[in-house]
Amino acid sequence: MNILDKYSLAGKVAVVTGASQGLGRGYAAGLAEAGAHVMCCARNMEGLRSVAEEIVAKGGGAEPIALDVTRYEETGKIFETIKNKHGSLDILVNNAGAEETADFVDVTPSQYDRIMDVNLKGAFFAAQAAARIMAAQKKGKILNIGSLGSAVGLAQSSVYCGTKGGIVQMTRTMAIELAPSNIQVNALGPGYFRTPMTEPFFQDPAHRKWIEERIPAGRVGTVEDLLGAVIFLCGDASDYLTGQILYVDGGWLAS
Ligand SMILES: NC(=O)c1ccc[n+]([C@@H]2O[C@H](COP(=O)([O-])OP(=O)(O)OC[C@H]3O[C@@H](n4cnc5c(N)ncnc54)[C@H](OP(=O)(O)O)[C@@H]3O)[C@@H](O)[C@H]2O)c1
């Protein structure tokens, strides 16, 4: 096998949660460009249809699928349906996420639950549902999505940082339990990227300045800057790499 073949996702079936907008939309397009058939999952069918249509128009394979990651039992049924239709479920990009900024002292129990239910509990049970299928296949890749908030505290994002710190520990534990089944579980830690989630930060001149001044690369990244890592972590080239978090942040955390 040529080394570059290990970066191809041809013949693989990938699920991307939170694919209706933002980074998930870009991951879906990138995985499809690398050859995967991508199941684009989220709640907003209009957004999903448009991303799937865009992928198909470029010659890739994609389907929109309504999935709410907080309906934990439904996730398993949807993944089973995908496997039965396509023969396998090879890749899960566990990307669906929510954020609602507030000072720590003002966070309400319902805000706490909303963020936890999507970012941590939703990711946990999506990974569990995928792992059950992948274990039977004896092969699979789970890519959880962390954040700079997996490594450092971010003001007004206490719950979010709690979920993203949890993603790292969850990733490590899943990785050791699933390694014997030849399933690799890693996490991607994006720096700051401009999406509907972060748009309020970029609209605030002081916050924007704070973000930009801390990026040694001298610019805010685009989703294309994340795709090399995503494709590597979802393909055969990373078969001996598991339990890691890879930060793609233009040097933010190193500084
Ligand atoms: N943007 C950044 O700079 C950045 C940095 C580090 C990490 N991240 C992480 O990257 C991921 C994507 O962030 P983003 O910036 O692209 O955010 P975004 O633009 O707000 O997109 C979030 C996605 O998650 C989906 N989602 C939310 N709740 C869901 C649910 N209950 N079930 C299924 N899907 C759900 C949304 O789709 P629907 O509303 O259609 O369901 C949407 O597609 C998140 O995990 C985020 O924490 C982002």
Run of H or E residues at 224 = helix 224-234
Ligand 1 in reach of 109 Cβ (< 6 A): no
Taking the C-alpha atoms of residue 133 and residue 147, their distance in angstroms, rounded to an integer, is 27
Give pLDDT tens digits for 11-36.
999 999 999 999 999 999 999 999 99
- Cβ(66)–Cβ(45) below 8 Å: yes
* pTM of the predicted protein model: 0.98
Is residue 1 scored above 90 in pLDDT? no
Helix runs in 38-185, H state only? 45-57, 72-86, 109-116, 123-137, 158-178
Ligand 1 in reach of 198 Cβ (< 6 A): yes
Is residue 82 scored above 90 in pLDDT? yes
What number is the average pLDDT over the span 40-69? 98
| Number of domains composing the chain | 1
Give pLDDT tens digits for 108-118.
999 999 999 99
Q: Is residue 166 part of a domain?
A: yes
Is residue 70 scored above 90 in pLDDT? yes
Q: Is residue 253 part of a domain?
A: no
Q: Is residue 254 part of a domain?
A: no
Mutation probe of ligand 1 site: the residue of 48, 164, 197, 222 with most atoms within 8 A of C-beta: 197
Give pLDDT tens digits for 164-190.
999 999 999 999 999 999 999 999 999
State the residue range of the domain holding 62.
Answer: 3-248
CATH number of the domain enclosing 215: 3.40.50.720
Q: Which atom of ligand 1 is nearest to the CA of 21?
A: 43
Burial 181-205 (b: 16+ CB within 10 A, else e): eebbbbbbbbbbbbbebbeebbeee
